[in-house]
Amino acid sequence: MTTVAYQGEPGSNSATAARVLYPERSELPCTSFEQALDAVALSTADVAVIPVDNSAAGRVADVHHLLPESGLFIVAEHFLAIRFDLMGVPGTSLEEVKWVRSHVHALGQCRKVLQAGGWRTLVSDDTAGAAREVAELGDPRHAALAPPAAAGLHGLEVLRGEVEDDPDNTTRFVALSWDTVPAPYTGEPTMTSLFFCVRNIPSALYKVLGGFASNGVNLTKIESYQRGAGLNLSRFYVEVEGHPEEPHVALALHELRFFSSEVRILGVYGAHAHRLDS
């Protein structure tokens, strides 16, 4: 059975993503992303499932800084539709609610219902943890914005369902492990994630990106990160459609390496079906 580490508590969106990716699993809830990644590095867990992007809130803070330092590799991805319910202790009415608590991202993704209710907000470390806190308080003046699974887990009553602002709200999760063996080239849709630092020569980044363009390789993401105290060295994180063994991808990577001082493949993994539907 695979042991899966994730940030958050049982009933969280991360726990749901872990269940979908690894149906036969034991769970290791962690208090932070660092702790989840360290659990794999220390062999306490086999894999860590981490959110990296949200369609409404954008990049999950700090995660991309942690990935290259963890020494782990992306082995799978999953796109999870995000749903939030407003929940409170049994018997609570909406008129009684004064405070709503949740993770800061969830509060930002449910602004409309919060404004309509005129409730004050309290920030919790985790969405499912907010539900647990409300259950422990047992106070009808406190409610939580949490994934639907958290209500049954903590004995709460759903006061209003599906209160997220965007019905298409989606979070992308990746699974990371020590497994350095890339997914084999089968012709199926594949993603490749990598970091690189360009050489300190004029137009190096332009030429790197031109290599992807001229070889017909689609970049689905590119982000830059300052490196070093001088703030003049940048590391780039990119995700491309295709497998390194595909001829056009191999040519693009060859050009990338020529103009880069460092290139590190972070993962080669099957593309989730959500990409094909987008």
Catalytic positions are: 171, 173
Residue partners of 172: CB distance under 8 A and separation at least 6: 51, 52, 53, 54, 77, 78, 79, 80, 272
Q: Which two tokens stand for residue 156?
A: 């709460």
Closest-CA residue to 10 (of 162, 105, 149, 159): 149
Query: How wide is the angle at C-alpha 213 spanned by C-alphas 212 and 214, nearest 5°?
Result: 95
Q: Which two tokens stand for residue 139?
A: 């106070």
Query: How wide is the angle at C-alpha 176 spanned by C-alphas 170 and 178, nearest 5°?
Result: 175
Closest-CA residue to 194 (of 120, 148, 257): 257
Phi then psi for residue 210, to 5 deg, are -65, -30
Residue pair 236/195 in contact by the 8 Å Cβ criterion? yes
How far out from the chain centre does Cα 175 lie?
9
d(CA 204, CA 199): 6
Q: Is 192 exposed, middle or buried (0-12, 13-18, 19+ CB in 10 A)?
A: buried
